[in-house]
């Protein structure tokens, strides 16, 4: 596949019914050492790492373009201990364990946080470029999130995709994995049945399969089953995030854990076909309700923030920031924000009084709230201090529409990225990385851990398969 064709086009829809086949075909249609299902950051990192060992690798992608949810992510990469910061991998791990509520695997967390700096440098060796200084972003406490020079997650997909093609990786689009072949007595995974354009073909995976199929945020049925209280919310996942890998893994005997945990974040309405966020930098924005009152410490974890927004009268809340913050966003975010303003989804005002009028919130309450926040005085002990926010006109605001951003549940893996059964025994030939992994984040995911965990465990899977 040529590079231009690989990076083009729009995603396809629809999940396919699945089963796990016990009997392997007498003659395989295709054979590779490694088969990777999914072409986001996790899948491409796994493919490239396996190919670097001299293995033949094929990537099968359900959508009509590569990238998965990595392509649409904010792009930040968490790595503690770089740039001379005091923050170390052990601090990164400690924060994850605290947020995980005892539901993430401490050894997996350790492996992840210790591998983040090295994976960051590996990405740089592939041509990825990052800004020098780390940010503190939505849902984090420390400055450990590095922003790529290219907008959002596009840089990862370009770098990993091009390197994979140069390494001889086969990448095929529009392919849905509908069955897994395995040996019933040993559960050893042998290969996969792929469907494309109404035709099926069998693929032998001599060393194994890497599941990098993402989450299930686009699967309404699975959301109703596992997180019914949030199932009515819109999502910002790719249409292909329908839990295909989860169902294949479960039928192969995998242990699915933490399926009830779903991450929700602010976004825009479904009427616009792109993601808008004014809340990425917690020290540069403030959230208010319909009364013009601040109701939460914006530096809180994502679970706390989501619950606080849902609890507001009428479920109405707004994110407010200033022009300095918008101007410092990456170029794609700025483009979408200006488009959203012209569509009437985002408002811009010359001063706080005009902003209150455009948001239809009490003027004096909003002015009082913003003045206190900018001065670092909050007035309530439940709110944290704020600094250097909404200082420079014009001011920007959007009504918060909560989105399902990430599904945190999935397969249980070990430190080698091997998928485990319900007894904690590895399923021979089955590996996983990315959002399909359910025992890394626990109950709450730390902001900036999405892309970094995908690439870290993608590398680990490719190195161990």
Q: Give the Cα separation of 448 and 73 in Å (integer).
A: 10
Per-residue pLDDT band for 377 (boundaries 50, 70, 90) equals very low
Predicted confidence (pLDDT) per residue in 418-433, tens digit: 999 999 999 999 999 9
Closest Cα to residue 434, out of 76, 155, 41, 117? 41
Say what the pLDDT of residue 376 is: 62
* Under 8 Å between Cβ of 145 and 446: no
Q: Give the Cα separation of 435 and 411 in Å (integer).
A: 9
The DSSP annotation for 410-445 comes to EE-B-TT-EEEBTTS-EEEEEEE-STTB-SSSTTSP
* Under 8 Å between Cβ of 280 and 74: yes
Predicted confidence (pLDDT) per residue in 266-284, tens digit: 888 877 888 888 888 888 8
Per-residue pLDDT averaged across 431-458, rounded?
97
Give the residue carrying structure tokens 């993608």. Answer: 458
pLDDT higher for 371 or 125? Answer: 125
Per-residue pLDDT band for 6 (boundaries 50, 70, 90) equals very low
Both tokens assigned to 142: 């420390």
- Find the length of the chain: 465
Q: Considering the candidates 65, 294, 302, 459, report the single residue annotated as catalytic.
A: 302
Name the average pLDDT for the chain.
90
**Cα four-point dihedral sign 73, 75, 79, 80:** negative
* Under 8 Å between Cβ of 36 and 212: yes
Query: Is residue 2 predicted with pLDDT exceeding 60?
Result: no
Query: Is residue 83 predicted with pLDDT exceeding 90?
Result: no
Q: Is 302 a catalytic residue?
A: yes
Predicted confidence (pLDDT) per residue in 326-364, tens digit: 998 888 889 999 999 999 999 999 999 999 999 999 999
Per-residue pLDDT band for 386 (boundaries 50, 70, 90) equals very low
Per-residue pLDDT band for 15 (boundaries 50, 70, 90) equals very low
Say what the pLDDT of residue 389 is: 62
Say what the pLDDT of residue 379 is: 41
Angle in degrees, CA 10, 16, 18, rounded to 5: 145
Query: Is residue 384 predicted with pLDDT exceeding 60?
Result: no
Per-residue pLDDT averaged across 13-31, rounded?
67
Predicted confidence (pLDDT) per residue in 193-221, tens digit: 999 999 999 999 999 999 999 999 999 99
Per-residue pLDDT averaged across 30-54, rounded?
98
Query: Is residue 381 predicted with pLDDT exceeding 70?
Result: no
Cis-peptide into 34, omega within 30 deg: no
Query: Is residue 16 predicted with pLDDT exceeding 70?
Result: no
Query: Is residue 323 predicted with pLDDT exceeding 50?
Result: yes
Per-residue pLDDT band for 12 (boundaries 50, 70, 90) equals very low
Alpha carbon of residue 208 to chain centroid: 25
Closest Cα to residue 287, out of 426, 399, 142, 160? 399
Q: Give the Cα separation of 377 and 369 in Å (integer).
A: 9
Say what the pLDDT of residue 148 is: 96
Query: What is the reported pTM?
Result: 0.90
Predicted confidence (pLDDT) per residue in 130-144, tens digit: 999 999 998 888 999
DSSP reduced 3-state for 30: strand
Domains of the chain, CATH where assigned: 3-73+152-262+407-464 (3.50.50.60), 269-399 (3.90.700.10)
Query: Is residue 405 predicted with pLDDT exceeding 50?
Result: yes
Query: Is residue 391 predicted with pLDDT exceeding 80?
Result: no
Q: Long-range contacts of range 343-346, CB-CB < 8 Å, 24 or more positions apart?
A: 343/271, 343/272, 345/268, 345/269, 345/271, 345/272, 345/276, 345/398, 345/399, 346/268, 346/276, 346/278, 346/396, 346/397, 346/398
Query: Is residue 5 predicted with pLDDT exceeding 80?
Result: no
Q: Which residues pair with 172 in a beta bridge?
A: 60
Q: Give the Cα separation of 133 and 79 in Å (integer).
A: 11
Per-residue pLDDT band for 102 (boundaries 50, 70, 90) equals very high
Alpha carbon of residue 131 to chain centroid: 20
Query: Is residue 22 predicted with pLDDT exceeding 60?
Result: no
Both tokens assigned to 149: 């020079």
Closest Cα to residue 283, out of 444, 448, 140, 379? 140
């Amino acid at each position: 596949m040529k590079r231009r064709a690989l990076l083009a086009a729009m995603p396809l829809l629809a999940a396919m019914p699945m089963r796990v086949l016990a009997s392997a075909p007498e003659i395989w249609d295709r054979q590779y050492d490694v088969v990777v299902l999914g072409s986001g950051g996790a899948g491409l990192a796994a493919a490239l790492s396996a190919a670097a060992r001299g293995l033949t690798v094929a990537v099968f992608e359900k959508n009509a373009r590569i990238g998965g949810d990595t392509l649409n992510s904010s792009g930040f990469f968490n790595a503690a201990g770089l740039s001379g910061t005091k923050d170390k991998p052990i601090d990164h791990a400690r924060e994850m364990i605290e947020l995980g509520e005892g539901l993430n695997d401490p050894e997996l967390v350790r492996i992840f946080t210790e591998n983040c700096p090295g994976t960051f440098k590996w990405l740089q060796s592939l041509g990825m470029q990052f800004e020098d200084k780390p940010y503190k972003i939505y849902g984090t406490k420390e400055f450990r999130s590095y922003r790529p020079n290219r907008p959002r997650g596009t840089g990862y997909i370009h770098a990993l995709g091009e390197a994979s093609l140069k390494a001889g990786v086969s990448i095929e689009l529009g392919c849905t994995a509908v069955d897994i072949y395995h040996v019933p007595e040993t559960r050893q995974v042998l290969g996969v049945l792929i469907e494309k354009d109404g035709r099926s073909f069998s693929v032998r995976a001599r060393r194994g399969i890497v599941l990098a199929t993402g989450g299930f945020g686009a699967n309404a049925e699975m959301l109703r089953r596992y997180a019914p209280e949030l199932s009515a919310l819109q999502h910002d996942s790719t249409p292909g995030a329908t839990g295909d890998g989860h169902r294949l893994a479960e039928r192969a005997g995998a242990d699915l854990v933490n399926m009830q945990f779903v991450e929700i974040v602010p976004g825009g309405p479904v009427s616009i076909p792109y993601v808008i966020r004014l809340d990425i930098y917690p020290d540069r924005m403030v959230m208010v309700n319909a009364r013009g009152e601040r109701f939460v410490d914006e530096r809180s974890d994502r679970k706390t923030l989501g619950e606080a927004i849902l609890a507001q009268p009428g479920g109405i809340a707004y994110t407010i920031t200033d022009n300095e913050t918008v101007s410092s966003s990456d170029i794609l975010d700025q483009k979408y924000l200006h488009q959203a303003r012209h569509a009437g989804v985002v408002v811009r005002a010359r001063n706080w009084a005009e902003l209150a009028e455009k948001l239809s919130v009490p003027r004096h309450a909003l002015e009082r709230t913003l003045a206190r926040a900018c001065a670092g005085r909050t007035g309530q002990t439940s709110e944290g201090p704020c600094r250097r926010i909404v200082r420079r006109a014009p001011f920007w605001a959007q009504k918060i529409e909560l989105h399902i951003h990430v599904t945190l549940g999935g397969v249980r893996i070990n430190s080698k990225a091997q998928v485990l059964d319900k007894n904690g025994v590895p399923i021979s030939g089955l590996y996983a990385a990315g959002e399909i992994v359910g025992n890394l984040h626990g109950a709450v995911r730390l902001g900036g851990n999405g892309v970094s965990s995908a690439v870290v465990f993608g590398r680990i899977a490719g190195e161990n398969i």
